[in-house]
Structure 1
Amino acid sequence: MPVFLLKRFATLIATLLATSVVVFLVLEILPGDPALLVLGIDATDDQLAVFRHEYGLDQPVLDRYLGWLGALLQGDFGISYAYKTPVWPLIAERLALTYPLALFAMLITVVLALGLGVFAAAQHNRAGDVVIMGISQLGISIPNFWFGLLLILLFAVNLGWLAAGGFPGWRAGFGPAMLSLILPGISLAVVQAAILARITRSAVLEVLREDFVRTARAKGLSRSQALWRHVLRNALIPVITVIGLQFGNLLTGTIVVEQVFSLPGLGRLVFQAISNRDIEVVKAAVILLAFTVVAVNFVVDVLYAVIDPRLKGRDV
Structure 2
Amino acid sequence: MRHIIKKMFYGMIILIAFTYISIFIFSIPTSYKWEIKSGRIVSNYPVSMILKRSNSIFVSLLEFNIGENIKGKSLVELLYRASGKTALLLSASITIALIFGILKGIIDSNKGKKSSSSLKILTSILPISLPDVLIAAIMQGFAIWLNQKGIHIFKVAGSKTISHSFLPIIVLSILPAFYIARITALAVEECFKKHYILAARGKGCSSHRILWNHVMRNAIRTIVEGLPNTSSLIISNTLIVEYVFSYPGLTTALMNHITMRDARSSAIIIILIGFIYFALNGLFGLINMIIKRSYRGEAV
Q: TM-score, normalised by structure 1?
A: 0.79
CA contact (8 A) 2:23 2:58 kept: no
CA–CA separation in structure 2 for the residues paired with 1:3 and 1:218: 44
What is the 5 A alignment of 1:1-316?
2-29=1-28, 31-32=30-31, 60-81=49-70, 83-123=71-111, 126=115, 129-158=117-146, 159=149, 160-161=151-152, 162-168=154-160, 176-177=161-162, 179-309=163-293, 312=296
Question: Relative to 1, partners in 2 of residues 1:205 and 1:304: Cα closer, same or farther, differing over 3 Å?
Answer: same
Query: More displaced, 246-255 or 275-284?
Result: 246-255
Cα distance in 2 for residues equivalent to 1:312 and 1:302: 15
Q: CA 1:76/1:242 → structure 2, altered by over 3 Å: closer, same or farther? A: farther
**Would the aligned equivalents of 1:8 and 1:298 in 2 still touch at CA under 8 Å?**
no
- Report the Cα offset of residue 101 of structure 1: 0.9
Cα shift at 1:29: 4.0
Superposition CA RMSD, Å: 2.6
2:42 corresponds to: none
Deviation at 1:93, TM superposition (A): 1.3
Distance 2:285 2:199 in 1: 30
Which runs of 5 or more residues in structure 1 are unaligned? 34-56, 169-175
Partner of 1:43: none
Which letter maps to 2:93?
Answer: A
Cα offset, 1:139, TM superposition: 0.7
Partner SS for 1:308: helix
Percentage of pairs with the same residue: 23
Distance 1:312 1:305, change over 3 A: farther
Partner of 2:43: none
Alignment deviations for residues 217-266 of structure 1 (CA, whole Å, 9 cap, x no partner): 34432333122112213212232232233223223322111221121221
Supply the distance in 2 between the matched residues of 1:296 and 1:163 (Cα, whole angstroms). 28
Contact 1:305 1:312 in 2 (8 A): no
Q: CA deviation at 1:213?
A: 3.1
Determine helix, strand or coil for the equivalent of 2:109: helix
- Partners of 1:194 and 1:125 lie apart in 2 by 23
Moved more, 237-246 or 213-222: 213-222
Q: CA deviation at 1:68?
A: 2.5
| CA shift for structure 1 position 58 | 11
- Deviations 1:110-142 (Å, cap 9, x if unpaired)? 111100101212455656x43221111221122
Distance 1:227 1:90 in 2: 48
CA spacing shift, 1:17–1:190, aligned 2, 3 Å: same
Using the alignment, how far apart are the partners of 1:22 and 1:238 within structure 2? 34
Deviating beyond 6 angstroms after TM superposition, the runs of 4 or more aligned structure 1 residues are none
Once residues 117 and 259 of structure 1 are traced to their aligned partners in structure 2, the CA distance between those partners, rounded to angstroms, is 30
| Contact 1:23–1:287, Cα closer than 8 Å, also in 2 | yes
Shift in CA distance, 58/6, structure 1 to aligned 2, threshold 3 Å: closer
